[in-house]
Structure formats: structure tokens, C-alpha cells
A and B are shown apart, each in its own frame.
Chain A
Amino acid sequence: KNEVEQSPQNLTAQEGEFITINCSYSVGISALHWLQQHPGGGIVSLFMLSSGKKKHGRLIATINIQEKHSSLHITASHPRDSAVYICAVHLRTTGNQFYFGTGTSLTVIP
């Protein structure tokens, strides 16, 4: 059983569409991260959340601690948004465990 589940696994969208990627987790956390990974492996941290909502440009991330759920939204999607989006949680334990979802592969078609 994975501590972090993402959906969908794969997503294809037309340029301009509004996109939502979901992340559910089953453990108590102190923080949740959304990461973007481009082909070739480079990972960029998009957001770190412990409550509420954050916005950066066309990206919005929300988290509901009670429901153990987070969403990443992309407004006015663009082909350059094509990447793998990964949700990762930092457990609220002394072990500093950091669990990752398997990622959502997004392709935005012009």
C-alpha cells in the first residue's frame, strides 16, 4: 500500500484547458510538496504546503489536512507544462521520512 496516491497517472489536455491533479495520503504529515520533473530527470519544487492554498503564476495548489488530500491546478495550460508532476509528503515523525507519489504524466497538445 502506498502512503501517497496520485490521480490520474496520465493526462492529455489541449492547450488552454484547466488541469487538476489529485494527491491523497494516508498518514499524518507536516508538509506536502508538489514537484515537477521534466524528461531527463531534473526536478523542480513548485510548492510546499502545510495548510490552505498557494498560487504561483498559472499554478495553484490546495491542501485539506482533515481530508488528507491536495490538488494541483494549472490554468490556461501550455505545451511547456508537459512534465511529470509528483506529490510528496513529509511525515510527522522523528524519522524525517519523505514519501513520494508515483507521479502524473501530463501532456499538453498545441
Chain B
Amino acid sequence: DAGVTQSPTHLIKTRGQHVTLRCSPISGHKSVSWYQQVLGQGPQFIFQYYEKEERGRGNFPDRFSARQFPNYSSELNVNALLLGDSALYLCASSLALVTDTQYFGPGTRLTVL
């Protein structure tokens, strides 16, 4: 059974650009969460979606947005990129809300120049 997949694996952008990251959850999982992990730090919660609705939002600016599609895959969008947005972006899926065991994807490494 395929695990959580994310695309792309690596991405280089310049300041001010926009980026879209994609995540496909494990089959049957209805919850997708997004996290940002800056080098040397623990992950920070960005969003959680369950059944296509936003169920949680971390302390991130409105430049960050996300959505979940009918097939439960998800996109994370970041507008007006800043140097500080350079990080590993992790997606995790679970059967139910986040109190369930989460399964993480390999992440997308975003570098903003």
C-alpha cells in the first residue's frame, strides 16, 4: 500500500514568487495536515484538513493557504515568498482528526533565494 506522497521533492524559488506543494494521503485517510520545519527546529503546524474542510490553523500569515480535494489530496499554497519560508514542508495523513496516528510524507524541500 503506497504511503503519503508529496511533490515536488525539491523546489527553488525567488522572493515574491508563489509556490504550490502537493500531497496525496494514504488511501482511505481523510485527514491531511501540513507542517513547516525550518532547519534545526521542530516542525510547526500550518493547517489541518478533514473531509475537505479546514479543521485547524497554526500561527502563519495569510500568505499561506491550503485546500483539500474530493479525493482527499491536498495543496499548500504560499504567496509572496520570503527568504524565511525556506524550509522542509511536511504533509501527514490520518484516518481521522489529528489525535489519530499520523503518517508523514517525505517532505518538499523549498529554498527561497
Contact = CB atoms under 8 A, between A and B. Distances in A.
A102 B41 contact: yes
A90 interface: yes
Contact of B102 (A4, A45, A99, A102): A45
B104 A45 contact: yes
A98 B41 contact: no
Interface stretch (B13-21, B52-60, B64-72): B52-60
Interface in A50-104: 50, 86, 88, 90, 95-103
Interface residues of B, number: 27
Interface SS, B side: strand
Contact of A96 (B48, B92, B104): B48
B43 A86 contact: yes
A97 B58 CA distance: 7
Contact of B98 (A40, A42, A98): A98
Interface of A: 4, 30-31, 33, 35, 40-45, 48, 50, 86, 88, 90, 95-103
12 contacts: A41-B37, A41-B109, A43-B104, A45-B103, A48-B99, A90-B99, A95-B56, A96-B55, A98-B45, A98-B56, A100-B42, A103-B42
